Structure 1
């Protein structure tokens, strides 16, 4: 059964990482789409938050803007992302950790460029770097540059053909473990959320293992409602959250305007889920 509640979208990206809208434009779009509680969760950076708050605070009816970040981690050779919600963006421990993450991103990005160049795709690093601007360079920037320069029809095709595990431009991740990221989020006063669990393309057995070990590492919540998912997927994630005593979260993982992902779209809130914003830790931070 679905109930009408506060429209929340707690996973999104700006040009501070691999999104294509500025923090100002992203908040403006969220307001236009009727989102009431919104989190910006750029990859390994808090750089867009000050601008987002400045614009939001200038509005006659501002939304409830949550400070967030999406931290890349390594689990059994997989890229696993942990979203930190309600973090203190002035926390020095978190700032130092994210600065190190940015260094790791640059090392990996340079190697991706070298592998693509050896495969005959010249200028990919420079092109992706130009798209990234001041943001940390990511595979998303590579995918965008390669799609725009005719190496595939769109960004998903670039990932499938060049950047996925085992493909020409794939470079194994060099991140730290989940427990370290979760601890950093907690030190910054936030709650740790396992991002898009079904997006890692794990078997049912491995997904159960991931969620269990994430909980054991100190995780607080997991995303159970995504912008694109089947009803079976949603029910499975909710069941896993219950089995592991994890709070539920919700988010579009919005990067840019498209026909398939939109801020607040399809983010229904089924009954029977203990939502992350209902927890006492969240209430205390707000």
Structure 2
């Protein structure tokens, strides 16, 4: 299969996280790692917040670093009672529509986190909310922070086991989210001048029929692109997502979904697009 990295072999990574949400590197540390990994274009896409964009841009300017930063965000939405993530790329982080939506999302996150803490307290795990909030270092409190707290406190051996035992749907600490709709997210992204991307479509546990239904719905709402490539994917998934992009006339995006240094997910690793798709960056390079 022919690979399409980009024009002039530019290395793009359009999905990454910092300590502003559930990543473990600060904006400065993430930028430094991107430089070390020879990334040319990086999007920071924290969950329901753009707090990392300004400090990252300031650091790039201060050090005159050879890195183009794309202002982004990953918005949590609900569709058919399934949590679906929509990435916004090349957005105006100061646009009122975006600020209003993210403020509402932040309130939902805080309320949910408090409720998770209360449920874990009833299960005999004290101070979980306070512990998760401390690990967030002022950023958005996510289930990932609760998982790290439970591991650190010795309640469970690994983050994956935390979710299986406490935080997955139907478990003791699970609280149903109250996110915005896909339409709300796409509208805010567009009003902020950005591009709406259906994030990691292979992670929702959908059948082929339901994934097509989701992708068509996203397209009908004005969605622009779908994440085709990630650094770690099951066999054939990249080709399947490329086929969805072609079927519904969507651009193709790619990103590591980097959260922390680890052996299997890394900035820029194995990120290329199959032939026959049009890259999402063509939308802001026109």
Backbone CA RMSD of aligned residues: 1.2
- Contact 1:77 1:172 survives alignment (8 Å): no
Please state if 1:68 is matched with 2:72: yes
Q: What residue ranges of structure 2 are gaps of 5+ in the alignment?
A: none
- Contact 2:128 2:149 survives alignment (8 Å): yes
Measured in 2, the distance between the counterparts of 1:83 and 1:193 equals 5
Equivalent residues in 2 for 1:1-286, closer than 5 Å = 1-4=2-5, 5-279=9-283, 282-283=284-285
Cα drift, residue 216 of structure 1: 1.3
The Cα offsets for residues 100-143 of structure 1, whole Å up to 9 and x where unpaired, read as: 11001111111111111111222111110111121121111111
- Contact 2:77 2:85 survives alignment (8 Å): yes
The Cα offsets for residues 28-48 of structure 1, whole Å up to 9 and x where unpaired, read as: 000100111100001111111
State TM-score, norm by structure 1: 0.95
Q: Classify the secondary structure of the residue corresponding to 2:19.
A: coil
The Cα offsets for residues 193-245 of structure 1, whole Å up to 9 and x where unpaired, read as: 01111111112222111111111121110100012102311111111111111
Greater Cα offset, 66-75 or 160-169: 160-169
Q: What residue ranges of structure 1 are gaps of 5+ in the alignment?
A: none
Measured in 2, the distance between the counterparts of 1:20 and 1:157 equals 19
Report the number of matched residues.
282
Misfit runs of 4+, over 6 Å: none
Measured in 1, the distance between the counterparts of 2:210 and 2:116 equals 27
- Contact 2:238 2:274 survives alignment (8 Å): no
- Contact 1:88 1:190 survives alignment (8 Å): yes
